[in-house]
Amino acid sequence: MIELRHISKTFNRNTPNEVKALRDVNLKIDSSRFVVIIGSNGSGKSSLLNAIAGSIDVTEGKIVVDDHEITHLEEYQRSKWIARIFQNPLMGTAPGLSILENFRLASVRTQSKKFSIGTNEKFRKKIRDKISLLNLGLENKVDQLMGTLSGGQRQALTLLMAVMDETKVLLMDEPAAALDPKTAELLMNLADKIIREFHLTAFLITHQLKDALAYGDRLILMQEGMVTKDLGQSEKAALQLNDIFNWF
């Protein structure tokens, strides 16, 4: 479960450039729920995800994951619960390390990085098996540098990496926006599958209204830093594409 209580974020406070990115946002999301967030540019969607991830510090309010208050924890400390997929497919992986080495780091996300070699044969086999499920033909290339792969391949691997270690919350900020339509669909299906399989509490920001309808069991509309619509599973299921379109 993740709870946001009275979250506000103001950038450039008390200057002429003051921007109120988030205004008193209150959300309570039960475990294993998949929340889709839509809204126009500048409506505060990304700020909301950044606030949860810890890459921005909120001005006011409280963020609680399960029973842990994480409001003022550093980003690297929150990674114990939270995994993240960025919009830029290159941001979630280290290009200068091999696929195997990237997965090794992901598999110790919640743990301290020890002085022992973890990329052994057993681990290699495990990763090969996992990657083969993607059907991208990468299972025999685990020693290849991540930087030699395409954006779509890297984003798919990033998703898989997110569940290599125990994860409660998965944050996705337009994960498929930079991908071609076919790869984007593959990626979204994969995300959906992983979220269900691992019972993750997930957030998805998207501008694809089709995806907003197809995925998730709760739909949130953000406008000017506030949550202005919040639809549960049954209401969301009854929605038509046109209904959402008219919200903008």
Partner 1 sequence: MNFYLSAILLGLGFASLALGIFISMRIFNIPDITTDGSFTLGGAVTAVLLSDHTSLPLVLLVAFLCGALAGSITGIIHTKLKVNALLAGILVMTALYSINLSIMGRSNIPLINIDTIFNRLPFISDSISQEIFILLSFSLLLWLIVSWLLKTDFGLAMRATGNNENMIRALGVNTDRMKILGIALANGLIAMSGFLITQIQGFADINMGIGIVILGLGSVMIGEIFLKMIRVHKIGWHLLGVIAGSIVFRLILAFALSIGIDALYLKLVVAVFVLIVVSIPNLKRAS
Q: 45 or 78, CB closer to partner 1?
A: 78
Q: Does 94 bind partner 1 (CB under 8 A)?
A: yes
Q: Does 157 bind partner 1 (CB under 8 A)?
A: no
Single residue of 47, 50, 98, 183 touching partner 1 by CB under 8 A: 98
Contacts of residue 235, Cβ cutoff 8 Å, sequence gap at least 6: none
φ/ψ of 90, rounded to 5, equals: -85, -10
The CA-CA-CA angle for residues 164, 177, 91, to 5°, reads 45
From 70-78, 124-132, 207-215, 232-240, span contacting partner 1 (CB under 8 A): 70-78
Residue 22 Cβ vs partner 1, minimum distance, rounded to whole Å? 21
From 25-33, 103-111, 181-189, 215-223, span contacting partner 1 (CB under 8 A): 103-111
Helix, strand, coil shares of the chain as percentages rounded to 5?
35, 25, 40
Q: Does 92 bind partner 1 (CB under 8 A)?
A: yes
Task: State which of positions 120-149 bind partner 1 (CB under 8 A).
Answer: 145
Q: Is 56 helix (H, G, I), strand (E, B) or coil?
A: coil
Q: Does 167 bind partner 1 (CB under 8 A)?
A: no
Residue 134 Cβ vs partner 1, minimum distance, rounded to whole Å? 19
Q: 75 or 224, CB closer to partner 1?
A: 75
Q: Is 18 helix (H, G, I), strand (E, B) or coil?
A: coil
Residue 87 Cβ vs partner 1, minimum distance, rounded to whole Å? 12
**CB contact at 8 A, 230 and 29:** no
Residue 105 Cβ vs partner 1, minimum distance, rounded to whole Å? 5
Q: Is 190 helix (H, G, I), strand (E, B) or coil?
A: helix
**CB contact at 8 A, 85 and 187:** no
Token pair for 215: 């995925």
Token pair for 77: 């400390």
The residue ranges that bind partner 1 (CB under 8 A) are 53, 74-77, 79-80, 83-84, 86, 91-98, 101-102, 104-106, 108-111, 113-119, 145
